[in-house]
Structure 1
């Protein structure tokens, strides 16, 4: 049984903890955070299903005042684990790396950290083999994770020469205030980091892209123009996507009009927090232009990277050396692909 800890119990950390707890071949030792945040207070109100560790020396009094029990320090948690999922704020993971090295533990960092924090820039489907046995892995961002899923899915069937993307990016997560109240769109300098990151993971694909920040919170939309090596029809593309457990084909005609529709659907399914692990392809968005094929996908930014984090544990700990065996185990325990047989 692989023992796993989560450093940082925020938007991603909460979901990582829940995802690990679902894996029957892993044990969640505990989670760590620096103060009694709302997420930590909710953890207490739920009966403390996970052991909590204090990640900042001197903050013990804050937890005591809030009557939230702690099981030790971050260093205590690290020593009890085989691998740490570091979901701390950007830059903190690089500092925590020194602790992971001190105790010779493996760690997996999130997309906000610089690439040089890890041995491998990792994606479960696209380059699983490169992460096997490595001490430090870094995940791609939410947008890049979903984008690579779609492009890799096509590439493994018919090959992909190049892609051009436009990302309509939510400006903040639900509940965030630090970005302010806005009524504007903002264009980033091209090419976007997601296109560059895709080429890092899949160097044989020529990618470029533009990113537009939008004043919404529930998900990103990415439009993709792909040039496959073999000519494929709209129907063939949708069939390729339909075989992937982390991709849903949805229809505007059925009421899936955009990001908010998918968020509501996830809540109606009873998914915790309204989360979806899978990306969605809007069927009516698929169009051909010569050999190029265009489509739009929805990225549920709060949960989409969780499966790939679990894949990373499997690779780093050499739980499965075969890519398909690994992702299949992750998918099974997270309940991914259940809709495929319905």
Structure 2
């Protein structure tokens, strides 16, 4: 069993912690959290052990009457692997602590690539990650693009790809960032182009992005030029076989991200999460060497299975196929169709 600690219990950290609890080969030792808020109290009711960053946080926990099990130093003494799910920039600061404790660690895509020995997407480069000490799971958008482009590129080499990313502005619980009423473009090429190169260096892609005033899902619009002509049916066949990709028929009423959110409720998904790329089936079209399609990415959940696979990869206890099978089974991840 792999003993895992999670540092950070926000949008991604709480989902990773829940996913670890479902794995047959992992033990969640505990979670590091700064403030004893409602999520902590619910976590404690479910048996989670919480730790604080250092003793300066003890008073606020004691005053709130919320039990903690020690500091991060004590947590790390009990772990084999730590997953750092702290806000952007904090993981790099924490890296020295993990090094000093002789631990392996998984970081998130908000950190710079140099935080890890390798940037990671399970379907793309799991084998290269075996036994590596520090891994960086790339961002939600990069994960979604990498899965899709890798699946196509394996069967039909890509000449170039153009992606327009329509990004949600904040996560649903981030009310402190305020109410917005605008569209904010990223001027020039977005950072996703460079980030994608850290995992798919052989794919020629350019990305553009805008932020819009919504809290659920990113949407990608892609045009992909292959080196050979292909039919829409051939691309659909590839996507139906690809892991962690689901095809969504708009004819069933799934014409918006609002309907996708409702679909997650109807499927009774935990936290209404989608771990899969959601590709609108009707959007897939081929024109000679060009493919065009649209996909939705649930920004709160898509990197969760990658984090679980990253834990196994750096622990060297499972090959890619076994790890992804275990992860997908434990999280009930769908391939091809939901119904």
Tell me by how many angstroms 1:283 deviates.
Answer: 1.2
Q: 1:104 aligns with which of 102, 108, 112?
A: 102
Normalization by structure 2: what TM-score?
0.96
Tell me by how many angstroms 1:341 deviates.
Answer: 8.8
Secondary structure of the residue aligned to 1:178 is helix
Indicate yes or no: 2:188 matched with 1:176.
Answer: no
Counterparts of 1:293 and 1:78, CA distance in 2 = 48
Quote the residue 1:221 is aligned against. 219
Counterparts of 1:278 and 1:255, CA distance in 2 = 19
Indicate yes or no: 2:18 matched with 1:5.
Answer: no
Whether the aligned pair in 1 keeps the contact of 2:186 and 2:208 (CA below 8 Å) is yes
Q: Which runs of 4+ in 1 moved over 4 A?
A: 338-342
Quote the residue 1:276 is aligned against. 274
Tell me by how many angstroms 1:287 deviates.
Answer: 2.1
Quote the residue 1:230 is aligned against. 228
Quote the residue 1:14 is aligned against. 14
Counterparts of 2:137 and 2:99, CA distance in 1 = 19
Quote the residue 2:79 is aligned against. 81
The answer for unaligned runs of 5 or more in structure 2 is none
Whether the aligned pair in 1 keeps the contact of 2:129 and 2:135 (CA below 8 Å) is yes
CA displacement 1:225-263 (0-9 Å, x = unmatched): 112233221111111111123111011111111222111
Within 5 Å, give how 1:23-172 maps onto structure 2. 23-44=23-44, 47-172=45-170
Q: 1:241 aligns with which of 239, 242, 261?
A: 239
Within 5 Å, give how 1:253-332 maps onto structure 2. 253-320=251-318, 322-332=319-329
Counterparts of 1:169 and 1:341, CA distance in 2 = 24
Secondary structure of the residue aligned to 1:239 is helix
Counterparts of 1:341 and 1:296, CA distance in 2 = 18
Superposition RMSD in Å:
1.5
Whether the aligned pair in 1 keeps the contact of 2:83 and 2:106 (CA below 8 Å) is yes
Whether the aligned pair in 1 keeps the contact of 2:245 and 2:335 (CA below 8 Å) is no
Tell me by how many angstroms 1:310 deviates.
Answer: 0.8
Secondary structure of the residue aligned to 1:324 is helix
Whether the aligned pair in 2 keeps the contact of 1:160 and 1:205 (CA below 8 Å) is yes
Whether the aligned pair in 2 keeps the contact of 1:127 and 1:201 (CA below 8 Å) is yes
Count of paired positions: 339
Tell me by how many angstroms 1:53 deviates.
Answer: 0.8
Whether the aligned pair in 1 keeps the contact of 2:245 and 2:336 (CA below 8 Å) is no
Secondary structure of the residue aligned to 2:123 is coil
Counterparts of 1:257 and 1:84, CA distance in 2 = 39
Counterparts of 1:69 and 1:58, CA distance in 2 = 15
Counterparts of 2:183 and 2:338, CA distance in 1 = 40
Normalization by structure 1: what TM-score?
0.95
- Worse-superposed segment, 194-203 or 4-13: 194-203
Secondary structure of the residue aligned to 1:126 is helix
Tell me by how many angstroms 1:339 deviates.
Answer: 6.9
